[in-house]
Amino acid sequence: MVTPPEMSAPPLSCDCHFHIFGPYDKFPLDEGRRYTPPEALVADYLAMADIVGFHRMVIVQPSPYGTDNRATLDAVEEFGRRRAVAIVVIDDKVDAARLRGMSDAGVRGVRFNLVSGNGTPVELLQIMARRLARLGWHIQVYGDGETIMQLGETLA
């Protein structure tokens, strides 16, 4: 039995970054991953969100899935578009039609993971930024302070 917190989160609180892993028989992990996390399923997250009081959520594509966004997009569908959106990981081969389809499915940004890799190469940042701006998406850069400082001009 989980003891709920003494206070709930305010109405319409948003968890702005979490991952869904699995079920692995439906959504296997990428061969190029650096770590193997335990499953973290939609039902598990919902149980926690109900206890804490999160009403909205941003599901972020984790590096162990690489550019296979199926588990993340499936989670958005399960949570419902009124409640959840997603940040995905893509490569330079994704075409405009696929990007529009992902936008329709609730995607609102792309993650550049400079820590655990297995995703969009940082060299594509400017090219992708131009493509994603047309969709109104944002870019999430996950990196240590020194690396982000080195990207200062590019990020500007």
Residue ranges of alpha helices (H) inside 17-151 are: 42-52, 70-79, 96-104, 125-133, 145-150
Decide if 9 is inside a domain: no
Backbone angles phi, psi at 126, to 5 degrees: -70, -40
Decide if 92 is inside a domain: yes
Sequence-ordered strand ranges (E) for the chain: 14-18, 56-60, 84-88, 107-113, 138-142
Decide if 7 is inside a domain: no
pLDDT of residue 55: 94
For the stretch 33-39, contacts whose Cβ atoms lie closer than 8 Å and that sit 24 or more positions apart, written own/partner, are 33/63, 33/64, 33/65, 33/66, 33/118, 34/63, 34/64, 34/116, 34/117, 34/118, 35/64, 35/116, 36/64, 37/62, 37/64
Q: Which domain holds residue 29?
A: 14-155
Mean pLDDT (the chain, rounded): 94
pLDDT of residue 156: 85
Look at the chain and report how many structural domains it folds into: 1
Decide if 18 is inside a domain: yes
Decide if 8 is inside a domain: no
DSSP class of 65: G
118 vs 19: which has the higher pLDDT? 19
Mean pLDDT value across residues 96-113: 96
Q: Cα(155)–Cα(90) distance, rounded to whole angstroms? A: 18
Decide if 29 is inside a domain: yes
CATH number at residue 112: 3.20.20.140
Decide if 5 is inside a domain: no
Decide if 115 is inside a domain: yes
Is the pLDDT assigned to residue 46 strictly greater than 80?
A: yes
Is the pLDDT assigned to residue 66 strictly greater than 70?
A: yes
Confidence (pTM): 0.92
Instruction: List pLDDT tens digits, range 1-22.
Output: 678 888 889 999 999 999 999 9
Please state, as a whole number, how many other Cβ atoms lie within 10 Å of the Cβ of residue 109: 18
pLDDT of residue 1: 65
